[in-house]
Structure 1
């Protein structure tokens, strides 16, 4: 016999209990294997980068201009990578893509990993060319006014801003759908299974956005996106790393000494981006374990994500417009002066505050008990022939 309260099977089962313990306990063996693979790769980056620097490069007492090329340079490259992981485009892209895939019933644990891998590939590729003696790149990389900077900044910023607007549009549609479910649930017209089905019904979004909605269906597809994001190496952290590599190449340092810098940069960035993506996944995993939690949690967090994506995308595209058209005035000067890197730190803090605040309100306000009490069980459907 089929009833209206039969749960929808749209992804990994997260209904057994609540809280972080249940979210992690529901991870399958295959997912643990993927997590172990990501951890192993990130660990390998750390081992290769630090071993090359400490055991091979440092004992040679190489010089970079008037300064020594040693552990201090490596620490600088590593911290630049960690800092780059907090760039606003990283935070917004990883969070919103994680949300999209989880709405499709998936558990995208590796979104941040693949995004950072694609992003760092650009830095590594340029540093590799520099290490092979392509000195012609050293000047353009260090020169903010070079044609290389102009073209890559134009491509990278356009891709980044446009993608964030597309993701924001997708999440606005999701937010409207969740609000409708909220109103229906508060009036007591649907049981949990109906709410579950409604929250996971993506038909309208597919009809509205078509191919755009289907463009990213698996976490690994974040690699080419990260690659495109990385083409706009106009952030201070990325340029600083490439300046280090370019200066090292110009000083005639061996290739392995130069390449340990982008490896350490990638190690620091991939570590924090992967943690970021996985943490967001577990946060959403708690919220998705019951329909009532989905409604409450997503009304808050989806609205925040839409705002973040729109703010960052707007700042990036307006800044690009002001730069390309040489626009001036009070408004355009203010837009050009916004430090988008600082926004990354503010966004991380904002997400933590929202997550903690949502948990406190959930517990103190007894949201699940009150909202669940308003929902009347659906009548059983008739026996199938």
Structure 2
């Protein structure tokens, strides 16, 4: 095959994946637009779901799984350009399936047992908030331990092995599934790997439970409204996963070149995960408590009136500020130069 033919083949493959990602965005936006006029608070939830999808694309285990497969296929002389796309589609399948099941189950319960609608709203919100708080606390504990490793590096102690243990602790499914990557010989073979990664429930449950909370909090939310959230989550994740070779591979290569970069990168990612889960979970649980308090206090009234759509807008801004501050601190305080181990400086 000559150079011109290879160039056309490369452009064709990227065009195909780009079209699929664009179609996913269109489906998510169309689903959201269909219900926003009647349920305006869903706009904020949709933005939040999309942001969570984008953020999840930067998880270290996510990037490692994709990039390890890309390198493997390149060594075998295979075309790796679809690895990120098929991985994200497999992962997104879990999110969409959970959302459909949630929507159908919630709809059946409301139709068959109207008296359970109010109770279901409380239970759904409480379960969602409780789950997210647990997830946030786990990420916060891991964040503290990564910080301890980070500060111990100033004494010249190389704890790269300890860092790996902490990163593995964030995702049991990721640790169990990673060995399966050696059986991948084509880009589409990554689809079941992505599906299994999605069974970790750290993100799939987050989106589907938010959808359940929104449906319980606002009676009559149609199935298409529930589907808008996982579709937007999948769109955000697939956009960056598919572009792994252009952007994420660079981030992964930079972050994992030495222990200081690796720790700093994971501090940012884990911190964002903890902040998102703790913020949303706290709002949901406090709203459950506020709904059962017979008080006219301004504070509790404002809590009850606060919707996750508003929280979604705030969270998007906080995510952007966190990344900007993280990058600024890295540059201004010259963290790599000051904290790198002697052997890492020699390596660079």
Displacement, 1:172? Answer: 1.8
Partners in 2 of 1:167 and 1:93 — Cα distance? 16
Partners in 1 of 2:204 and 2:43 — Cα distance? 21
Q: 1:232 aligns with which of 192, 213, 216?
A: 213
Contact in 1 for aligned 2:96/2:230 (Cα 8 Å)? yes
Q: 1:357 aligns with which of 318, 325, 348?
A: 325
Displacement, 1:178? Answer: 0.9
Partners in 1 of 2:269 and 2:226 — Cα distance? 31
Partners in 1 of 2:119 and 2:232 — Cα distance? 28
Contact in 2 for aligned 1:159/1:229 (Cα 8 Å)? no
Displacement, 1:270? Answer: 4.0
Displacement, 1:273? Answer: 1.1
TM-score between both structures, scaled by the size of structure 1: 0.54
Displacement, 1:361? Answer: 3.4
Partners in 1 of 2:28 and 2:55 — Cα distance? 29
Q: 1:289 aligns with which of 253, 256, 271?
A: 256
**Which structure's residues are more often helix, by fraction?**
2
Partners in 2 of 1:157 and 1:93 — Cα distance? 21
Give the equivalent residue in structure 1 for 2:163.
199
Partners in 2 of 1:313 and 1:80 — Cα distance? 17
Describe how 1:174-323 pairs up with structure 2 within 5 A. Answer: 174-190=142-158, 194-195=159-160, 197-202=161-166, 218-222=197-201, 225=205, 226-234=207-215, 239=219, 241-242=221-222, 262=224, 266=227, 268-277=228-237, 282=248, 285=252, 288-290=255-257, 291-323=259-291
- Change over 3 Å in CA distance of 1:377–1:44 after alignment to 2: closer
Structure 1: 4+ residue segments shifted above 6 A: 47-50, 77-81, 126-129
Give the equivalent residue in structure 2 for 1:69.
none
Partners in 2 of 1:78 and 1:116 — Cα distance? 22
- Alignment: residue pair count: 281
Describe how 1:6-155 pairs up with structure 2 within 5 A. Answer: 36=17, 40=20, 43=23, 83-87=44-48, 99=59, 101-102=61-62, 106=65, 109=88, 113-114=92-93, 116-118=95-97, 120-121=99-100, 125=104, 137=111, 147-155=115-123
Contact in 2 for aligned 1:160/1:313 (Cα 8 Å)? yes
- Change over 3 Å in CA distance of 1:176–1:364 after alignment to 2: closer
Contact in 1 for aligned 2:36/2:43 (Cα 8 Å)? no
Partners in 2 of 1:47 and 1:102 — Cα distance? 24
Partners in 2 of 1:296 and 1:277 — Cα distance? 22
Displacement, 1:344? Answer: 0.6
Give the equivalent residue in structure 1 for 2:314.
346
Displacement, 1:233? Answer: 3.6
Give the equivalent residue in structure 2 for 1:376.
342
The structure with the largest alpha-carbon Rg is 1
Tell me the SS of whatever aligns to 2:343: coil
Contact in 1 for aligned 2:48/2:315 (Cα 8 Å)? no
Q: 2:295 aligns with which of 314, 323, 328?
A: 328
Displacement, 1:340? Answer: 2.3
Describe how 1:161-180 pairs up with structure 2 within 5 A. Answer: 161-180=129-148
Tell me the SS of whatever aligns to 2:256: coil
Tell me the SS of whatever aligns to 1:231: helix
- Change over 3 Å in CA distance of 1:333–1:152 after alignment to 2: same
Displacement, 1:339? Answer: 2.5
TM-score between both structures, scaled by the size of structure 2: 0.59
Displacement, 1:161? Answer: 0.8
Instruction: Work out whether 1:337 is the aligned partner of 2:305.
Output: yes
Displacement, 1:306? Answer: 2.4
Displacement, 1:300? Answer: 4.1
Question: Which consecutive residues of structure 1, in runs of 5 or more, have no partner in the other structure?
Answer: 1-31, 54-71, 130-135, 141-145, 246-261, 379-385
Displacement, 1:354? Answer: 1.6
Give the equivalent residue in structure 1 for 2:71.
none
Alignment RMSD: 5.1
